[in-house]
Amino acid sequence: MYTWRGEFKRYLLIFAVVGIVSYFFGVLLPSLLILTLILLGIDLLQLHRLQKWLAIDHASDKSAPPESFGVWGGVFDGIYRLQKQERRASAHLESLLNKAQESSAALEMGIVMINRHNNLDWWNRASESLLGLRHPQDRGQSITNLIRDPQFHEYFHSENYDDPLKLNAPGDSTQILEYQIATFGKHERLMIVRDITQLHRLESMRKDFVGNVSHELGTPITVIKGYLEAIIDNMQDLDPKWQKPIQQMHQQSTRMENIVRDLLLLSSLETKHRPKPQDSFSLSSLLSEIRNDTLQIYKKKSHNFTLECDASLELLGDRGELYSALSNLVVNAAKYTPANGTISVRVEHDEESLTIEVEDNGIGIDVQHLPRLTERFYRVDVSRSSETGGTGLGLAIVKHILMRHDGELNIESEIGEGSCFVCRFPQTRFRQSEPAVESIPQESSADTTTESPSTTH
Ligand code: ADP
C-alpha cells in the first residue's frame, strides 16, 4: 500500500541523490530539469493509461485496470474496487427489479406506472388485457388518451383518490373495473385496476334482493295491520284474554312496517345516483318542520326544544333525503330523552364547513357502542329499542344520506348525561342566500337573516 508520505519521501530521495551526484559533476540545474521532465513524463503516461482503460465499455469488457506502481497503482486499484462494488449493487438491483416485474406479471390486477407528465412508464401484463394497453407502442402515451371515459378524466385530474372509481372497461360494457390511484415520488402515480364484474353483480343481486323482499313484505304486513286495527276498534266484542296479544301483535306489525320502510329507503339510497349540489333549500325551515313534527309525535314528553339556525343558510342537495336524516336524529333525541328533558339543535358555519348539532340530555350511550352505532341493526340495548319501536336502521340511514351529500357524522355521548350527534357538510354543500335588497332595511339586515333561538314546550 502506497501512501502520500512514502511517495514524497521517494521523490525527495531521488532528487537528493541526483542533486548530490550532479553537483559534483557541476551539472546540477540541467540534471534537476531532466529529472523533473522524466517524472512528469511518467505521470502523463500513467494518466494516459488510465484514460484508455476508462474509455473501455466496462459492461461487456470486465478487464482489470493496467498494472502500475506507486500512488498510481493505488489509484488504479481503488477505481477497480469501486467499479466492482457498483457492478455488484446494480446486479442486486436488477435481480430485485426482475423479481418485482415477474411477481406483478403474475397478478390478476393491472398495475400501471404513470409519470408526472401523465404518460405511461410501465405496466404489467394484466393491464394489457384489462385496459387494452399494447407493449411497447403505448409506452410514453398519455393515460387520458388511452382511457377516454370523461368520468376517468375527472377522477384522474381531481387528485382526490380517497375512494376508488368504478367504470365499465374500455371497449367492453359488460366488464366493470375499479381504478385506485396512489401518488408517489415527484408527482408520479401508481394505478391499480381490478376486475370487479363478479363482485358488482353479487352486490346488485344483494341490493335487488333486499329491495324486492322489503317490497313483497309490504303488502302482507299492511293487510295484517289493517285487520288488527279493525279488531282493536271493536275491542269490546273481544274475549278479554285476547286483548293483550292483539295489542302486542299490532305493536309488532307496526315495527315490521317500520323495518320494511327503512329497508326500502336504504336500498333506494344504495341504488340511486348521488344528489348533485344543484337544488337548494332553506335549512332553518327544514329544521323548523322537523322540530314541529317531532314535538307533535312526542308532545306528551313536554321536551324543552331549542333551535338556533341562521335563516339565510341554504343546504344544497335532496331535501327529502336530508329531512329523513335530520329527523332521524331529532326523533332519536326525543325517543331517548325522558319527559321534560332538553333537546337543542344548533347550526354553525364558517368558510369551510357547516355543522348541525343535535344535542340532548337524555339517557346517553356507553362509549364502547359509539363506533358501531351506524351499522345496520346495531342496537345498544334490544329492549330499549323495542320499547321505543326502533328498527336499528335509523343511524345507518343517516350515515348513508350524509355520505351522499359529502357529509360526515360524529357522535359524542356519555351514559346518563346525554348525546350529541354532529353532522358536518363541506363548503360545496351549503351557501348563504343573498337577502332581497329592497325588502330589508339596511341597518337591520343582520337581524333579519338570523332566526332567533326559539324554545318550544
Ligand atoms: P333505532 O331505530 O333502534 O333507534 P338507530 O339506528 O336510530 O336505531 O339508533 C341505534 C341505537 O343508538 C338505538 O338503538 C339507541 O340505543 C341508540 N341511540 C340513538 N340515538 C340516541 C340518543 N339520542 N340517545 C341515546 N341513545 C341513542
Indicate the pairing of strand 430-432 with strand 313-316: antiparallel
Tell me the three cell numbers of residue 250.
299490532
Same domain, 316 and 413: yes
Question: What is the rounded (10 degree) CA torsion for 384, 389, 395, 400?
Answer: 160
- 283 against 186, higher pLDDT: 283
Buried b (16+ CB within 10 A) or exposed e, 281-299: ebbbebbbebbeebbeebe
Lowest mean pLDDT across 37-41, 80-84, 310-314, 431-435: 431-435
Atom of ligand 1 nearest to the CA of 378: 10
pLDDT of the residue at 150: 92
Report residue 418: phi and psi, to 5°.
Answer: 125, 180
Ligand 1 near 301 CB (within 6 A): no
Atom of ligand 1 nearest to the CA of 392: 8
Q: What is the pLDDT of residues 245-265, one digit of tens each?
A: 999 999 999 989 999 999 999
CATH code of 203's domain: 1.10.287.130
Domain that holds residue 130: 107-195
Same domain, 190 and 226: no
Residue of 258, 294, 336 to mutate, ligand 1, most atoms within 8 A of C-beta = 336
The DSSP result for 343-381, as a single string, is EEEEEEE-SSEEEEEEEE-SS---GGGGGGTTSTT--S-
Ligand 1 near 165 CB (within 6 A): no
Indicate the pairing of strand 304-310 with strand 342-349: parallel
- What average pLDDT does range 161-176 have in this prediction? 89
CATH code of 301's domain: 3.30.565.10
- Sign, CA dihedral 88-93-96-98, equals negative
Atom of ligand 1 nearest to the CA of 395: 6
pLDDT of the residue at 225: 93
Total of domains in the chain: 4
In the reported structure, the alpha carbon of residue 248 is separated from the centroid of ligand 1 by a whole-number distance in angstroms of 22
Ligand 1 near 380 CB (within 6 A): yes
pLDDT over 50 (residue 395): yes
In the reported structure, the alpha carbon of residue 335 is separated from the centroid of ligand 1 by a whole-number distance in angstroms of 8
> Last residue of some domain: 249, 271, 293?
271
pLDDT of the residue at 191: 95
pLDDT over 90 (residue 101): no
8 A C-beta contact, residue 138 and residue 157: no
Same domain, 74 and 180: no
Residue of 297, 298, 344, 380 to mutate, ligand 1, most atoms within 8 A of C-beta = 380
Q: What is the mean pLDDT of the chain?
A: 88
Same domain, 235 and 212: yes
Q: How many CA atoms lie within 13 A of 60 on its CB side?
A: 3
Same domain, 315 and 442: yes
pLDDT of the residue at 171: 81
Ligand 1 near 307 CB (within 6 A): no
Same domain, 29 and 88: yes
In the reported structure, the alpha carbon of residue 332 is separated from the centroid of ligand 1 by a whole-number distance in angstroms of 6
CATH code of 173's domain: 3.30.450.20
Closest CA to 74 of 46, 53, 110: 46
Ligand 1 near 344 CB (within 6 A): no
Tell me the three cell numbers of residue 101.
416485474
Same domain, 117 and 64: no
pLDDT over 50 (residue 438): no
SS3 317: coil
Same domain, 15 and 143: no
**Cα separation of the two ends of the chain:** 99
In the reported structure, the alpha carbon of residue 414 is separated from the centroid of ligand 1 by a whole-number distance in angstroms of 13
Instruction: Specify the residue with its C-alpha closest to ligand 1, atom 21.
Output: 332
Same domain, 47 and 153: no
Same domain, 256 and 373: no
> Last residue of some domain: 80, 102, 124?
102
pTM: 0.66
SS3 189: strand
8 A C-beta contact, residue 378 and residue 413: no
pLDDT of the residue at 2: 60
Indicate the pairing of strand 408-414 with strand 418-426: antiparallel
Tell me the three cell numbers of residue 278.
344543484
Residue of 327, 391, 395, 419 to mutate, ligand 1, most atoms within 8 A of C-beta = 395
Closest CA to 110 of 137, 146, 155: 146
Same domain, 137 and 254: no
pLDDT over 90 (residue 97): no
CA distances from 152 to 146, 170, 190, 191, 428 (A): 11, 11, 15, 12, 21
- Provide the H-helix boundaries in 25-69: 28-54
> Last residue of some domain: 271, 295, 313?
271
Q: What is the pLDDT of residues 54-82, one digit of tens each?
A: 888 777 777 777 887 778 888 888 888 89
Same domain, 119 and 261: no
pLDDT over 70 (residue 383): no
- What average pLDDT does range 414-428 have in this prediction? 95
- What average pLDDT does range 442-451 have in this prediction? 36
- Sign, CA dihedral 431-435-437-443, equals negative
